[in-house]
Amino acid sequence: MIPSETLTALIAGLLAADAASVANPVACKVGLIVANFTPTIDLLMADLVISADTGLVAIAGVPGSQLESIDPDTGELIVEVKTPAGGFRWETPIGFTGPVTIFGYALGNNAMTTLWGTQRLDPPLTLTDPNQAHTAPVLQFRIDPNKIT
Amino acid sequence: MTPTLALLVRLQIVFRTYIMSQLTAPGWNLVLLKAAFTPSKDLVIGDVTLDPEMGAFPLAITDSVHFTGRDPATGDLVIWLAAGAGVELLMSSDATPRQEFGWAIVETGTFAIIASKLMPAPQQVSSTDDGILNPEIGFHLPMNLMR
């Protein structure tokens, strides 16, 4: 059926408040993906290599409901991952002996066992020395309500 | 971000949960529309002609097992509002022969249109107990719904 706009407009808010996924009271984490990958719907956490290096480990976001809004240009419904204090920012420590290449970001549960989404960093970024930092961009899911039938 | 199937399934579940709450209160009814219309997300009650002679089917959760699932043909995640049991709207009394053009889900009391669906071709009804068996009533969430 063709749903009304009144109905579909709700879904970003419903997902942004979903305590069993992105709005978990134990905050989701964003990790750096350090091996090449292709973002697809079928990816699992086990398919990715997430950095465990000092200074480059997954960072916890903000627990609870995330942000939701409507793109005024496209009408897409947006679920945006809240940025924690200090941001999703990684910095290589003293003694870092890279190189480590960042291919993208993974949003997962706090234990980083369940993968909710991925995003590529184009072009990839290679960290080679201590005191090099990288901050993730705003991480969003965009829903096209016109695709619901 | 590119979502995983796990997140899309969560979207399906929270959407279903919301729909279930609405079926409880205020309630949704399936009705027939007896004038041509074009389904759209902006459709309002003033755009369509309900056929009260054909009654209204109160949508309810009659089969929780089949309430959500996945279309094997398309991979779409599906929320079914009327699955398995069959849904038929019957003419309650003899009336002028006419055609039915489609269905709408309307909110109980307010008649706000929740969703609409056009029949492949209009169907004729003409006397008491003429019935129209409805097709799948529900929503499809395609795999490319979110990016």
* Chain B residues 96-125 with CB within 8 Å of chain A: 103, 105, 112-117
Domain range enclosing A89: 5-147
* Chain B residues 10-69 with CB within 8 Å of chain A: 10-11, 13-15, 17-18, 39-43
Residue B11: both structure tokens together: 């979207």
Q: Within 13 A of A10's CA, how many CA atoms are on the CB side?
A: 14
pLDDT tens track for A19-61: 999 999 999 999 999 999 999 999 999 999 999 999 999 999 9
pTM: 0.91
The terminus-to-terminus CA distance of chain B in angstroms comes to: 6
| ipTM for this model | 0.96
**pLDDT over 70 percentage in chain B:** 90
Alpha-carbon distance of B109 to A63, in angstroms, equals 38
Residue A12: both structure tokens together: 């970003």
CB A146 within 8 A of CB A5: no
User: Chain A: nearest CA to B53, how far in angstroms?
Assistant: 22
CB contact A11 to B (< 8 Å)? yes
Alpha-carbon distance of A63 to A30, in angstroms, equals 12
SS3 content of chain A, % helix, strand, coil (to 5): 10, 35, 55
Count of domains forming chain A = 1
Among B4, B16, B105, B32, CA closest to B69? B16
Mean pLDDT computed over every residue of chain A: 97
Q: Which of the four pLDDT bands, split at 50, 70 and 90, describes residue B65?
A: very low
Nearest chain B residue to A146 by CA distance is B41
- Say whether pLDDT at A77 is over 80: yes
